[in-house]
Amino acid sequence: MLADHLPALQVALPLLTAPLVILLRTGFLAWLVALLASLCSLGLAMLLTATVLETGTQHYAVGGWLPPMGIGLTVDGLSALVLLLITGASSLALAGGRLSLRKDIDNRRAPMFYGAWLISMAGLCGIAVAGDAFNVFVFMEISALATYVLIAGGRDRRALSAVFKYLIIGTIGATFYLIGVGFLYMMTGTLNFADIALRLDEVTETRPIVIAAGFITIGLALKAAIFPLHVWLPRAYTYAPNAATVFIAACSTKVVIYVLLRFNFEVFHGNLPGHTDLFGVFIIPLALAGIVLASAIAIFQTNLKTMLAFSSVAQIGYIALAAGLTSEAGLMAALLHMFNHALAKGTLFLCVVAFVLTSGSASMDSLRGIGKRMPWTMAAFLVAGLSLVGVPGTAGFISKWYLVVAVIGWDGWGAALVAAIVISSLMAVVYLWRFVELAYYSEPPGGEVVPMEVSRPLRCLIWFAALANIYFGLFPQLPLALARSGTETLLGGLF
Amino acid sequence: MPEYTLPLMLLLPLLGAIVIAFSGRWPNIREAVSLVTAVSLAILVFSWFPAISDGARPQITLSEPLPGLSLALSLEPLGMMFACIASFLWIINTIYSIGYMRGNREKNQTRFYVCFALAIAAAMGIALADNLFTLFLFYEILTLSTYPLVAHKGDAKTIASARIYLGVLLATSIGLLLPAIIWTYVIAGTTDFTVGGIIEGKLEGAAVGLLLGLFVFGIGKAAVMPMHRWLPAAMVAPTPVSALLHAVAVVKAGVFSVTKIIIYIFGVDFLFSQPSAQWLQYMAAFTIITASVVALYQTNLKRMLAYSTIAQLSYVIMATVILKPLAEIGAAVHIAAHAFGKITLFFAAGAIYTASHKTELWQLAGIGRRMPITMAAFTIGALSMIGVPPTAGFVSKWFILAGAFQAENYLAIFTIIASTALNAMYFLPIIYFAWLSPPATGVDMDHGEAPGAILLALSVTAGLTILFFFFNQPLLDLEGQLVESLPL
Amino acid sequence: MKFLGLFNYWVFAILLVIGLYALITKHNLVKKIMALAIFQSAVFLFFITMSKIEGGTAPIVQAGVSGQVFSNPLPQVLILTAIVVGISTTALGLAIVVRLYEEYGTIEDDEILALDRKA
Amino acid sequence: MTTLLIGVFLLLLLVITAVAIVRSTDLFSGVMLSGIFSLLMALNFFLLDAADVALTEAAVGAGVATVLLLAGLKLTPSTEARARPVRPIAIIVVAIIALLMIYASFGQPSLGDPTAPAQTHVAPWYIENTPELVDIPNIVTAVLASYRGYDTLGEVFVVLTAGIGVMFLLGGGRGKPFSRLHTDPPQGLSHYLIPKVIARMLAPFILLFALFIQFHGEYSPGGGFQAGAIFVAGMILYALVRGEDKALAVIPPHVLLWMSAGGALLYGSVGLLGIAMGGQFLEYSVLADNPVTGQHIGIIVIELGVGLTVTGVLLSIFHAFAARD
């Protein structure tokens, strides 16, 4: 019986656990309950994925009111992919981040923190299953507010200034999105995605629709940190508690991109003349600039977390570039890269958790010689780093492959785009290798090599994540199937 | 032989690496494990030799990450030969390494043996690759696993050189080779190595030359100029690593890949008909002559050997692009011949360093009297480089020249003759002064021979260089198939 | 008449950009929060304008009265939610400002940035 | 026509107020102007037939937001550092946005057009079917609590998250709650006679009004959220007059925490109950034999949940600000 309610439970379970968590008395208990809820959500997401792959898209009418009157939930391959990312990243970060979070968050405030964590996760899940444009706004705000709380938990005072900036930009982005939804409602009289797409055809006057597309795209681009709207991201990632960064970096921008794709392909694509070209013209130059410039900036960072954050901006550029091609291969590449980048970045930040746990800081200087002190963690970092670069045999390669194949097929500027991708991949090698050299071939601060590896469970977890990068590089059937099904739904309107 | 033994060739050194990593505390066990792994790998590889000679072509697919893009292994004559060379020389190199690493009291020996085993696993993967994707995968693993070996010393200068090593190899492979592979995949729909090639009819005109360029320069390990910078830079590595780079795995993997791509991706016939692909032989000729001239001006023994290698690699490239049956055999044989000769030379250089810490050419005057065995081996290696009978180098040069005459390719003929002269000009003086000159003033000559393990290793390879001249029939039979199987 | 009928939308646009302008140019964090409120209020106006129907009344059914025209309830519902979201954001933002002031001794974002750079 | 002109007048006032807020360098007057802005906005909403929204905007924008801003200003400097030069580039950018939107507006249906797409698709269905399906007079409440009850669940959690965030940042909730509770000088305005008397008289009525709004939401404008906001306004008035500690004695922090969490849980469990009783998540029709009765039960309970959470959270936030030095 419960199997029919999976889409609703996916959101309700973590959401309703959160109020319980804030009532708990100790940080440990709160952490434990949050972890369990997160793992259960992961289980639900897996069940849902299996169901979607078996029987196709799932529809759910909340409250028993059929959409467009009530709010509909829609879970297809794309949603399933994003759900797996969210719940997986959350579970990984919570499981691996206990000690680190215990250092960052004092026991008294910890229940609040874990409550916010669960709400953030539930909000992201809510976005992923939503079939209603306004519902997306509500859950975007839930997750955004909760994410601000998570980031504000950082020990450094700069976390506060970073989170304030994020709050302002995030709110502007969400409000832009809301304006766009308003224009759409004005011209179609409905809020349901599928229904909007259906009724857009009948709208003869397109001026408000174009404005709506503009507001929605720019608003979401702000929240997704597409270059040059990324200014909030590096500091937010850097000063957030390390474990929270694992979670946020792996999925929060991806979910926004998911909405961006949903809107631009399911709603506008095919209904708005010239939209496809306009979308490409708008997004591709920005994506390219992001890919190249953010990679270049990453090279000069002195803090490991900031470096990885700028790398994220570049990687978001890849996703945007692939989506901007508006081709089937391009979308496949975008969706795959969402998955693979989350995997790699999650692992990298998890290693950062371990590094900071033992050496106290994420600045490059304090991490000198860390490869000798923490050989296991550093090796995992290396594996995930290679996946980030796109070395074959790792997950990152699969999406880069799709990306380059898609780009070559794009008429006109294919070669230039390939060149940009290649250059930024090489820059990724440079910034990663700068750290690898530092970790392996320079003397640790204090001169002596003291083995100070983290606890065995954390090490196992890190390696579990690192091996997942390899597993999905050799056997990418699952993300491929989900990405393919997602591409089909996104382009459904076209063919 | 069942097909599942193919992945075993990768797993065996991999397993060895793991066991070595965990036995780091007991050096004797560690090195015994290295040796045992090397020997069993060689046995495994060689046991396939007869079957492949008889025309068997085992193939096994491990996974298919993307449609038309699989992780698959297969064994064909060219790969068989490369696998044999790499696995066999690994044994000898291990023996040598034990002597060298202990003799020089190197640090981080466990890391050395682990990375070495990983590099061999990668080399096996390259030898067995059934398609470009698999080749690329192991090519990158080889680069990454040899980086710690090159950077072994860990001081600032070494790191800087290792950075060049890694930078050039990764940049060329990601920047040129990968786009070339993807391009091939896009136009041909597959990247499988296929007899007769897969490009024909899919690509024409200047694009063929461009694709060939992406491949050749993308495979930086083949060290065609101007992508050769990494090889002299990598001379900072310990000598067994240089041997690994120059003879056992790395550069061999480079020319092996180029040869394999020309034969199985482009197809010899197709390439022969494409004027736009002709630039490669000029490039190869240029590299041969230039590298030889540069070698002439070197004062450091290992750097001189490095430039010699660059020239010898382009021999293989040039032989391949002569695009005639005899030349193809010559190319394949030259991979083997050069391996034996060059490893001998490096072993000798390492022996000299271990025994006397001499690295410069002028210090070698008169050293033959102190280290007769070493210098005898060195002489044999040098003669093989020049191509003097009865050494291995003569056999391959003979085939290449025959192929060049068959094709009436005067550029190739001239290049081979000129470079032979140049080789003689930089090797013969060393041999002469080492045996016949008194020591230079201020150079200590109070040392004897290197440790036994080192001597054993270099005697074996020197002996093989000679033996190869007399007993090369099995290899010729094997590579003869390459030609028969080619529609020439 | 057409112009008068669109006047609400123009005011929405103007309020929106007034808020946006202040958000971009003002350095005082409390001022930014006020600007954010104006910015969001503009959107509320936009939606509620949409819900109005000529001659309509608030969508509350009165017993015994029939034939009434009701204005559209849906945008009103959406804006009820949006108002709540807005106040929640304001509260959280203010809490962050208070903490920032405690840590930095200023609520001007350029001064905070300067202090960050120094660190 | 008259209402239209009044509307135009109000809108112009809105713009002027907004400009004044932006230009004022004294943050206190900025806060006051913001309150006026919200009131004007609420009046406008009222003119546009949005009674519920007007009530909410008045309670939240003019009431709660003003109190929060004042509480925030108490803890931070109250003037902007210095006047800054106008930035021409920013003006150009925002002017372009405004012009684009005004340009687009000519493609939009004008105010009050009954044939606009927005009025012809989903909305009429709500108006036609609510009497039969949900049977409560206030269609806004029906949409809010039932048809789009899932959004409202989200809304409650937005409020809860804000509460969590403020308590996380400024303290509160469980444990050592607020940094300053018992200080020697008498707090609040209790030493002024007139406010004291007025507040004493007013507070019970405000609280009573809140309860009315809470439980009369189906019939007239109002509901859990507005009720919560008004209840909080009453409590804040009480706190201002009698002092923080007295207000906290009436509803201690841990009770506020329980209210916040409990309200959200109450709402959520109604949703889960729907599943347990064989319906969909948040389906109230299955809660009783008669679907319409089920809807009534569901709406009353979730409105209660909303009211609890809003009260708990807003009061916690207020105390968290007020208790800080």
Query: Cβ D219–C101 below 8 Å, yes or no?
Result: no
Q: Indicate the number of domains in chain D.
A: 2
Q: Indicate the number of domains in chain A.
A: 2
Neighbours of B1 (CB within 10 A): 14
- Among the candidates A273, A303, A338, a domain finishes at A273
Question: Average of pLDDT values for B367-378?
Answer: 86
Helix axes B325-356, B392-406, angle to 10 degrees: 150
Residue B386 lies in a domain: yes
Q: How many helices (H) and strands (E) does chain A have?
A: 21, 2
* Positive or negative torsion for Cα D178, C84, C89, A92: positive
Query: Cβ D41–C41 below 8 Å, yes or no?
Result: yes
Closest A-chain CA to C116: A158
Cβ atoms of residues B409 and B282 within 8 Å: no
Residues D72 and D192 grouped into a single domain:
no
Query: Cβ C13–D105 below 8 Å, yes or no?
Result: yes
Q: Is the peptide bond before A67 cis (omega within 30 degrees of 0)?
A: no
Chain A interface test: which of B25, B63, B178, B203 (most A C-beta within 10 Å): B178
Residues A53 and A165 grouped into a single domain:
yes
Closest D-chain CA to C61: D137
**What is the rounded radius of gyration, in angstroms, for the C-alpha atoms of chain B?**
21
ipTM: 0.87
- Among the candidates A249, A273, A297, a domain finishes at A273
Query: What tokens does B128 get?
Result: 């067995």
From the number of C-beta atoms within 10 Å of its C-beta (0-12, 13-18, 19+), residue B351 rates as buried
Interatomic CA distance for residues D305 and D301, integer angstroms = 6
Chain C interface test: which of A145, A175, A196 (most C C-beta within 10 Å): A175
From the number of C-beta atoms within 10 Å of its C-beta (0-12, 13-18, 19+), residue A352 rates as buried
**Minimal CA separation from A404 to chain B, in Å:** 7
β-partners of residue B308 are none
DSSP assignment string, A166-186: HHHHHHHHHHHHHHHHHHHHH
Residues D273 and D157 grouped into a single domain:
yes
Question: Average of pLDDT values for B100-128?
Answer: 87
Cα B130 → chain centroid: 19
* Positive or negative torsion for Cα D8, D13, D14, D16: positive
- Among the candidates A244, A273, A302, a domain finishes at A273
Q: Domain residues for A67?
A: 1-273
Q: Please report the pLDDT score of residue D191 as a whole number.
A: 57
Cα A184 → chain centroid: 26
Q: Is the pLDDT of residue A135 over 90?
A: yes
- Write the single-letter amino acid at A428: A
Closest CA to A315 of A192, A213, A232, A225: A225
C75 touches chain D (CB under 8 A): yes
pLDDT digit string (tens) for chain D, length 325 residues:
677 788 888 899 999 999 999 888 888 899 999 999 999 999 999 988 888 899 999 988 888 898 889 888 888 888 877 666 777 888 888 888 888 888 888 888 888 888 888 888 888 899 888 888 888 888 888 899 899 999 999 999 999 999 999 999 988 654 444 444 444 444 455 556 666 777 777 778 888 888 888 877 777 777 888 889 888 888 887 887 777 777 777 888 889 999 999 999 999 999 999 999 888 999 998 988 899 999 999 999 999 999 999 999 999 998 888 877 6
Rounded to 5 degrees, what angle do the CA atoms A432, A158, A33 make?
A: 80
Three-class SS string for chain C? Answer: CHHHHHHHHHHHHHHHHHHHHHHHHCCEHHHHHHHHHHHHHHHHHHHHHHHCECCCECCECCCCCCCCCECCHHHHHHHHHHHHHHHHHHHHHHHHHHHHHHHHCCCEHHHHHHHHHHC
Query: What tokens does A463 get?
Result: 């390696």
Residues D153 and D31 grouped into a single domain:
no
Query: Cβ D168–A122 below 8 Å, yes or no?
Result: no
From the number of C-beta atoms within 10 Å of its C-beta (0-12, 13-18, 19+), residue C67 rates as exposed
Residue C62 lies in a domain: no
Question: Average of pLDDT values for A13-35?
Answer: 93
Interatomic CA distance for residues B144 and B157, integer angstroms = 19
Q: Domain residues for D201?
A: 122-325
Q: Indicate the number of domains in chain C.
A: 1
| pLDDT digit string, tens, across residues A105-129 | 888 889 999 999 999 999 999 999 9
Residue D177: C-alpha distances to residues A27, D182, D186, D253 (Å): 16, 12, 20, 7
Closest CB to A404: pick one of B66, B167, B182.
B182
Closest C-chain CA to A167: C93
Q: What percent of chain B has pLDDT over 90?
A: 11
Chains touching chain D, criterion 3+ CB pairs below 8 Å: A, C
Residue C107 lies in a domain: yes
CATH number of the structural domain spanning residue C109: 1.10.287.3510
Q: Please report the pLDDT score of residue B151 as a whole number.
A: 86
Q: Domain residues for C38?
A: 9-52+71-118
SS3 of B213, please?
helix
Q: Which chain B residues are within 8 Å of A425, Cβ to Cβ?
A: 174-175
Average pLDDT per 10 consecutive residues for chain C, totaling 119 residues: 75 92 90 93 92 84 78 92 94 94 89 85
Query: What tokens does B43 get?
Result: 């046995």
- Where residue A480 falls (left for φ over 0; alpha for ψ -120 to 50; beta otherwise) is alpha
Residue A442 lies in a domain: yes
Question: Average of pLDDT values for A72-89?
Answer: 93
Lowest-pLDDT range, A164-168, A240-244, A455-459, D303-307? A455-459
Question: Average of pLDDT values for A371-396?
Answer: 90
Question: Average of pLDDT values for A162-177?
Answer: 94
Q: Please report the pLDDT score of residue B484 as a whole number.
A: 66
SS3 of B60, please?
strand
Q: Please report the pLDDT score of residue D182 as a whole number.
A: 42
Chains touching chain B, criterion 3+ CB pairs below 8 Å: A
Cα B310 → chain centroid: 10
Query: What tokens does A404 get?
Result: 């380059």
The DSSP call for residue B240 is H
Residue B200 lies in a domain: no
| pLDDT digit string, tens, across residues B269-316 | 888 888 887 888 888 899 999 999 999 888 888 888 889 888 888 888
| pLDDT digit string, tens, across residues A179-213 | 999 999 998 889 998 899 888 887 767 788 888 88
> For residues B246 and A255, which has the higher predicted lDDT (pLDDT)?
A255
- Polymer length in residues for chain A: 495
Closest CA to B308 of B251, B268, B388, B389: B251
Q: Do chains B and A touch (3 or more CB pairs under 8 A)?
A: yes
Query: What tokens does A4 get?
Result: 């029919």
Q: Do chains C and B touch (3 or more CB pairs under 8 A)?
A: no
Q: Which chain C residues are within 8 Å of D90, Cβ to Cβ?
A: 21, 24-25
Q: Which chain C residues are within 8 Å of A168, Cβ to Cβ?
A: 23, 32, 36, 93
Chain A interface test: which of D99, D152, D161 (most A C-beta within 10 Å): D161
Q: Do chains A and C touch (3 or more CB pairs under 8 A)?
A: yes
Cβ atoms of residues A127 and A177 within 8 Å: no
Q: What percent of chain A has pLDDT over 70?
A: 98
Q: Please report the pLDDT score of residue D83 as a whole number.
A: 62
Residue D178 lies in a domain: yes
Q: Please report the pLDDT score of residue D116 as a whole number.
A: 85
Residue C35 lies in a domain: yes
Residue A347 lies in a domain: yes
A425 touches chain B (CB under 8 A): yes
**Minimal CA separation from A154 to chain D, in Å:** 11
Q: Domain residues for B405?
A: 278-488
Q: How would residue A495 be classed by pLDDT, with cut points 50, 70 and 90?
A: very low
Interatomic CA distance for residues C2 and D107, integer angstroms = 11
Residues A217 and A305 grouped into a single domain:
no
Interatomic CA distance for residues A204 and A212, integer angstroms = 15
Residue B326 lies in a domain: yes
Residue D177 lies in a domain: yes
Q: Please report the pLDDT score of residue B486 as a whole number.
A: 58
Chain A interface test: which of D156, D164, D301 (most A C-beta within 10 Å): D164
Neighbours of A108 (CB within 10 A): 16
SS3 of B2, please?
coil
Q: Is the pLDDT of residue A450 over 80?
A: no
Closest CB to A437: pick one of B159, B170, B186.
B159
Q: Which chain C residues are within 8 Å of D22, Cβ to Cβ?
A: 18, 21-22, 26, 31, 35, 38
A351 touches chain C (CB under 8 A): no
Residue C64 lies in a domain: no
Query: Cβ D48–C52 below 8 Å, yes or no?
Result: yes
Residue A56 lies in a domain: yes
Closest CB to B133: pick one of A392, A408, A441.
A392
Question: Average of pLDDT values for B131-140?
Answer: 91
Closest D-chain CA to C108: D81
Query: What tokens does B429 get?
Result: 């003086």
Chains touching chain A, criterion 3+ CB pairs below 8 Å: B, C, D
Q: 54-83 in D: which are within 8 Å (CB) of C?
A: 56-57, 60-61, 64-65, 68-69, 71-73, 75-77, 80-81
SS3 of B107, please?
coil
- Among the candidates D59, D84, D109, a domain finishes at D84
Residue D104 lies in a domain: no
Residue B70 lies in a domain: no
**What is the rounded radius of gyration, in angstroms, for the C-alpha atoms of chain A?**
21
Interatomic CA distance for residues B218 and B232, integer angstroms = 18
Q: Indicate the number of domains in chain B.
A: 1
Closest CB to B171: pick one of A386, A408, A426.
A426
Q: 184-203 in A: which are within 8 Å (CB) of C?
A: 185-186, 191
- Among the candidates D62, D84, D106, a domain finishes at D84
Query: Cβ D164–A148 below 8 Å, yes or no?
Result: no
Residues A289 and A186 grouped into a single domain:
no
SS3 of D222, please?
coil
Q: Please report the pLDDT score of residue D93 as a whole number.
A: 85
Helix axes A395-408, A328-359, angle to 10 degrees: 150
Closest D-chain CA to A180: D101
D129 touches chain C (CB under 8 A): no
Task: Encode burial over D261-284: b for 16+ CB neighbours within 10 A, e otherwise.
Answer: bbbbbbbbbbbbbbbeeebbbbbb
Residue B113 lies in a domain: no
Residues A250 and A326 grouped into a single domain:
no
Closest CB to C93: pick one of A138, A167, A178.
A167
Residue B56 lies in a domain: no
Helix axes D2-23, C2-25, angle to 10 degrees: 10
Interatomic CA distance for residues A255 and A259, integer angstroms = 7
| pLDDT digit string, tens, across residues B146-201 | 998 888 887 888 888 888 888 888 889 888 898 899 888 888 888 888 888 888 88
Residue B406 lies in a domain: yes
Q: Which residues contact A36 (CB under 8 A, 6 or more apart)?
A: none
Residue C99 lies in a domain: yes
Q: Is the pLDDT of residue A12 over 80?
A: yes
Q: Which chain C residues are within 8 Å of D112, Cβ to Cβ?
A: 5, 52-56
Chain B: which residues have CB within 8 Å of chain A? Answer: 62-63, 65-66, 69, 71, 133, 136-137, 140-141, 144, 148, 151, 154, 159, 163, 166-167, 170-171, 174-175, 178-179, 182-183, 185-186
Residues D286 and D181 grouped into a single domain:
yes
Q: Please report the pLDDT score of residue A282 as a whole number.
A: 83
Task: Encode burial over B211-246: b for 16+ CB neighbours within 10 A, e otherwise.
Answer: bbbbbbbbbbbbbbbebbbbbbbbbbbbbbbbbbbb
Residues D1 and D128 grouped into a single domain:
no
Interatomic CA distance for residues A77 and A457, integer angstroms = 32
Task: State the average pLDDT for chain A.
Answer: 89
